[in-house]
Structure 1
Amino acid sequence: MTTPMRIFHSATILGLLTAAAVAAPMDEKTEGLTTIFDGSGADGWINNKTGEPISSTAVQDDGLNPHGVGAYVVLYKEPVKDFVLDFDYKLSPGCNSGIFLRVGNPKDPVMTGLEVAIDDTKGTGFHDSGAFYDLVKPEANTQKPASEWNHMTITAKGPIITVALNGEQVSTIDQSQFSEPGTRPDGSNHKFQNVAIADLVQEGYFGFQDHGQNCWYQNVRLKKLDQ
């Protein structure tokens, strides 16, 4: 015979399990991330110009440094569609760099992908850290000074891409709103005169830019949301 206490206990457990199941989706962005660079080697990273694996010299004490390896962008070897990209980065003083996303043609990342800017600046303009380069300004610049570590999370789902910098969401782009070449949704002009951002492929390569200065990336983790 089932006692009232046992019924109450079973119902309580069932309620807790149900609550946990409902709460689980809230953690989707932080669970299931796979490390694709841990500082131990350059396997899985390629030169955007040649398609060849990058030199092991790119792996330094502080992490993956794209500067000086002969690539404009050090790309992860596999194209991805919807994803969460999570990593730490550190800039040298005066550094100008960026993260390229969904690059359709590795030899032409500027015109076939999007760039999230990371620069040794303090502003909130179209070229400051957290901006979608020349397209969307960040709402805030939460980056730490040069030579200090920062944490960035980029989430891409369809045409919507968001950037969180040091725990604060700083920018969002809806590619579908950029339907005219060279024009932002508010009618102002941007530099990409020959391409409608809405028409860019939503599956491509991502990677870290060498724009002439040292910067380091560490603890790079990826979750593919479309799988």
Structure 2
Amino acid sequence: MNLDFAQIVPYIPFILEGIKGTLLVTLISVVLGFFWGSILALIKISNVKLLNWLAVAYTSVFRGTPLILQLTFVYFATPQLTGYNISQLEAAVLTFTLNSGAYISETIRGGILAVDKGQWEAAKALGVPYHRMMLDIILPQAVKNILPALVNETIALLKESALVSTIGLADIMQNANVVKGTIFRYFEPYMMAGILYYVMVMILTWVARVLERRMRLSD
């Protein structure tokens, strides 16, 4: 086999620098996507039919089209449509936020509807305002129930963040591509990138298990 990992050793620090870009896009998008998804979920369970329909249509569009198409559309079409030269980071965060929000909204909606109806009735009987009931009673219980699904979405987003290399954002995948073009070898830099993604996913999975264990103990 024509393998020579010695050639990649000098470039390992450069590939490791890509972790910053990968984590930055992932973490910002997950946080913003959670808030956006929560808003969409609340709209979907509301009685305002127009807003309900718009939220469902939005989710359908973002779940029914390829993420790479959404990313390239935001990055390349935004300057044409608005005249604003959107940066690579802005395009990546905006796209992943809008996309993850669509998926997370369905997860949160299911979690909200899964909360015991007795909780809703008790809050209404006590005269708790709707927004306080949602923020203080329903949403905390829903999030606890859907934590595994939220972690899975975060893991999926972490892996999908490799797509930002298509618009030139410096992440793990993009830096691996640069090294590939420098030493004209494919296996070694991509293997390094794969190991980094795998390690990050395993760390995230471990953190999720610890959180789940603590939440179960707090019940």
- How does the TM-score come out when normalised to structure 1? 0.22
- Whose strand proportion is higher, 1 or 2? 1
- How does the TM-score come out when normalised to structure 2? 0.23
| Greater RCO, 1 or 2 (C-alpha within 8 Å, sep 6+) | 2
